[in-house]
């Protein structure tokens, strides 16, 4: 069983509860204003409260709650930290910055690393003492105004060049019908813990589809 199945870009409580009940281990909130999945801290906190209540009432495991930030300042991190379990740093944050923010706010750290070549994957070893998980994602298109969430995949075989000790997960263009192939491509690699999806479980940018989420979680679990 994969330890990590994250549904990112959550914007409403109904979808959040459905994803957690379907077996997602983590839910992600995008605190990056240019994203079609942007949510503010107050709305995200309300969703966290709803999910925890539903988990208790319905008897499923409460997921972890991940805040996605892109080169954010401490004020934005401080606003969301009290109801999160992890920061996901998706910008140009250095290993030192990741480690310092994780320590300061007492949260786990997921560092997104864009991969377009084998050296990108190998370079992620620099986050060994700074992150609890590396999230390998596709490089964004040159013209993009945000560093992720484009539904773009990368060559998963490039991850063979990663020899770091930090556990890692796969992101970028995954969907219910592609996640099995992605898992199969990296399954034997040391440290592989799971998958992360956003666009592939949406009916339109920023609009999550509960049926696609359930199909994604089931396919990911079956593939491990």
Ligand X SMILES: O=C(O)c1ccccc1N[C@@H]1O[C@H](COP(=O)(O)O)[C@@H](O)[C@H]1O
Q: Which of 8, 98, 120, 196 is catalytic?
A: 8
Spatial contact of 102 and 67, defined as CB atoms under 8 Å apart: no
Q: Identify whether 98 is a catalytic site residue.
A: no
Question: 2 in helix, strand or coil?
Answer: coil
Closest distance between ligand X and the C-beta of residue 134, in Å?
12
In the bound state with ligand X, the residue whose beta carbon lies nearer, of 58 and 181, is 181
In the bound state with ligand X, the residue whose beta carbon lies nearer, of 34 and 53, is 34
Q: Which of 98, 120, 137, 196 is catalytic?
A: 137
How many residues are listed for the chain in this entry?
224
Closest distance between ligand X and the C-beta of residue 201, in Å?
8
What residue ranges bind ligand X (CB under 6 A)? 8-9, 28, 30, 32, 35, 37, 68, 70, 90, 135, 137, 146-152, 171-174, 196-200
Which residue number has the CB closest to ligand X?
149
Q: Identify whether 132 is a catalytic site residue.
A: no
What tokens appear for 82 in the block? 């009290």
Closest distance between ligand X and the C-beta of residue 126, in Å?
20
In the bound state with ligand X, the residue whose beta carbon lies nearer, of 57 and 145, is 145
Residue 130, judged by CB atoms within 10 A of its CB (0-12, 13-18, 19+), counts as buried
Query: 136-144: long-range contacts (C-beta < 8 A, 24 or more apart)?
Result: 136/112, 136/162, 136/168, 136/169, 136/170, 136/171, 136/172, 137/90, 137/112, 137/113, 137/171, 137/172, 137/196, 138/114, 138/171, 138/172, 138/173, 139/114, 139/115, 140/114
Closest distance between ligand X and the C-beta of residue 107, in Å?
17
In the bound state with ligand X, the residue whose beta carbon lies nearer, of 59 and 142, is 142
Q: What are phi and psi of 55, to 5 degrees?
A: -60, -45
Q: Hey, which residues are catalytic here? A: 8, 137
């Amino acid at each position: 069983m994969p330890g990590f199945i994250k549904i990112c870009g959550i914007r409403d409580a109904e979808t959040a509860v459905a994803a957690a009940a379907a077996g997602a281990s983590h839910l992600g909130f995008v605190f990056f204003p240019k994203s079609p999945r942007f949510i503010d801290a107050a709305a995200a906190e309300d969703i966290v409260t709803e999910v925890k209540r539903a988990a208790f009432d319905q008897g499923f495991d409460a997921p972890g709650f991940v805040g996605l930030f892109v080169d954010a300042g401490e004020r934005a991190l401080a606003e969301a930290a009290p109801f999160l379990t992890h920061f996901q740093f998706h910008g140009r944050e250095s290993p030192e910055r990741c480690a310092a923010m994780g320590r300061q706010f007492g949260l786990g750290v997921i560092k997104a690393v864009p991969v377009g070549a084998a050296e990108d994957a190998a370079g992620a070893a620099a986050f060994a003492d700074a992150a609890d998980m590396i999230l390998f994602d596709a490089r964004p298109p040159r013209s993009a105004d945000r560093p992720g969430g484009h539904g773009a995949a990368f060559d998963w075989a490039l991850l063979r060049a990663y020899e770091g000790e930090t556990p890692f997960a796969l992101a970028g263009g995954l969907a219910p019908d592609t996640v099995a192939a992605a898992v199969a491509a990296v399954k034997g690699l040391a440290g592989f813990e799971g998958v992360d999806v956003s666009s592939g479980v949406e009916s339109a940018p920023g609009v999550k589809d509960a049926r696609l989420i359930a199909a994604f979680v089931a396919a990911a679990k079956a593939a491990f």
